[in-house]
Amino acid sequence: MSDQLQPETLALHTGIHRSQFKEHSEAMYLTSSFVFDNAAQAAARFMGQEPGNIYSRFTNPTVTAFEERLAALEGAETCIATSSGMSAILACVMGLLSAGDHIVASRSLFGATVNLFNTILKRFNVDTTFVSATDVNAWQAAIQPNTKLFFLETPSNPLTEISDIAALAAVAKKSGIRLAVDNCFCTPILQKPLELGADIVIHSATKYLDGQGRILGGAVLGSRELLMDGGIYGFLRTAGPTMSAFNAWVVLKGLETLKIRMQAHSESALQMAQWLESQPNVQRVYYPGLASHPQYALAKQQQKTGGGIVTFEVKGGREAAWRVIDASRLISITANLGDAKSTLTHPATTTHARISQEARDAAGISEGMLRIAVGLEAVQDLQADLVRGL
Ligand SMILES: Cc1ncc(COP(=O)(O)O)c(C=O)c1O
């Protein structure tokens, strides 16, 4: 499929391999394995001498369709789908790093990513230095002779801090370090990290790519050389954190509406952010589309809109924040984001509860902070829901 096509067209027409039945909507191939014509063909497939499906831990046509579609949207040569966003991050680090290697990572990462780097990888002698998401010099200063990977999320979860992808890619390249960007909050509709110089894009497909909170999934994207020869595909094939055909089908269809959803999420989120800024009991609003955001200029240049996530701090700490949550009737009290239904989260006691208080303080996650993933409801209904608790 031509990469001259616009994203909304690519999202509908890439990755289509019709069966003999000529179905219009993509078929779902729910099968563990595939049948060979004879023993020689089986041997040739296993040896990689003949293309074709073998076993759904590492080859499945529905999963391939999703991988092709997302790769087209991100402008990536290759995409490897995984069972969740966390397994995409795991596949990335297990594929690229060895014991004794070092990571420089943003201090403003999803809590489970911090835990993976800080506790699990540490047991395998891979150390991580956490630095400010926004201070390029700090990344440069943290480089060690054994640093192999820069890892960041932008906008970050939950503070919506913006990292300068192009500047960090330049720093990384000079030292032969790979830059991986978790593009979960923006999706390729709003931001394309590979075009800005990143080597790897990570997704939790659980979020906006699905868009209706139905499945768990993830993806790693980048060059063929890095993903296929660099060990990431090898890790997935051997260890098996694979995306299921069912989940691949759901998210493949989710991608078809990604552009109009991201536009709608962004428009409503901007209205919500502006409205929250005017509320007397709101201390501060964090949204990249607001002129008051510290990296507003960079966000404008790097991403198309501010996205769908608005974080805000209420006066009165945890008690006041929980009051807002408990007073809501429409907005779901849940940890997910990127759903058509708006979701409201208290990061300090949920998504970021298992990291240390010290790490929470360093990331700026306060007790009065709330994160709303603005869905597709009418904005006035969301405001009416929040105003009760505010
Ligand atoms: C930015 C970000 N990256 C990764 C993940 C992990 O994704 P998953 O829950 O699909 O494993 C999340 C989950 O909330 C996230 O917010």
- Is the confidence at residue 3, as pLDDT, over 80? no
Torsion of CA 256, 191, 350, 279, to 10 degrees: -100
- Residues 99-156 have pLDDT tens digits of 999 999 999 898 899 999 999 999 999 999 999 999 999 999 999 999 999 999 999 9
269 lies in the same domain as 251: no
How many folded domains does the chain comprise? 2
Query: Which residue has the CA at smallest separation from atom 6 of ligand 1?
Result: 85
Domain assignment of residue 191, yes or no: yes
Query: What separation in Å is there between the alpha carbon of 120 and the centre of ligand 1?
Result: 17
* Predicted pLDDT of residue 302: 97
289 lies in the same domain as 326: yes
Phi/psi at 53 (5° precision): -80, 150
Cβ–ligand 1 contact at 157 (below 6 Å)? yes
Instruction: Identify the domain boundary among 210, 227, 255.
Output: 255
E-strand ranges in 49-146 read 78-82, 102-106, 127-131
Q: Give the CATH number of the domain where residue 194 resides.
A: 3.40.640.10
26 lies in the same domain as 148: yes
Cβ–ligand 1 contact at 153 (below 6 Å)? yes
Domain assignment of residue 293, yes or no: yes
30 lies in the same domain as 169: yes
* Predicted pLDDT of residue 111: 87
Query: What separation in Å is there between the alpha carbon of 186 and the centre of ligand 1?
Result: 13
61 lies in the same domain as 173: yes
- Given the CA of residue 205, which atom of ligand 1 is nearest to it? 10
Q: Are the C-beta atoms of 44 and 50 separated by less than 8 Å?
A: yes
231 lies in the same domain as 288: no
- Is the confidence at residue 2, as pLDDT, over 70? no
Confidence of residue 360 (pLDDT cuts 50, 70, 90): confident
270 lies in the same domain as 343: yes
301 lies in the same domain as 171: no
Tokens 């949920």 — which residue?
350
Q: Give the CATH number of the domain where residue 312 resides.
A: 3.90.1150.10
Domain assignment of residue 277, yes or no: yes
Query: Which residue has the CA at smallest separation from atom 7 of ligand 1?
Result: 85
Q: What is the mean pLDDT of residues 154-180?
A: 97
E-strand ranges in 86-199 read 102-106, 127-131, 147-153, 178-182
Give the structural domain span for 199.
Answer: 7-255
Domain assignment of residue 1, yes or no: no
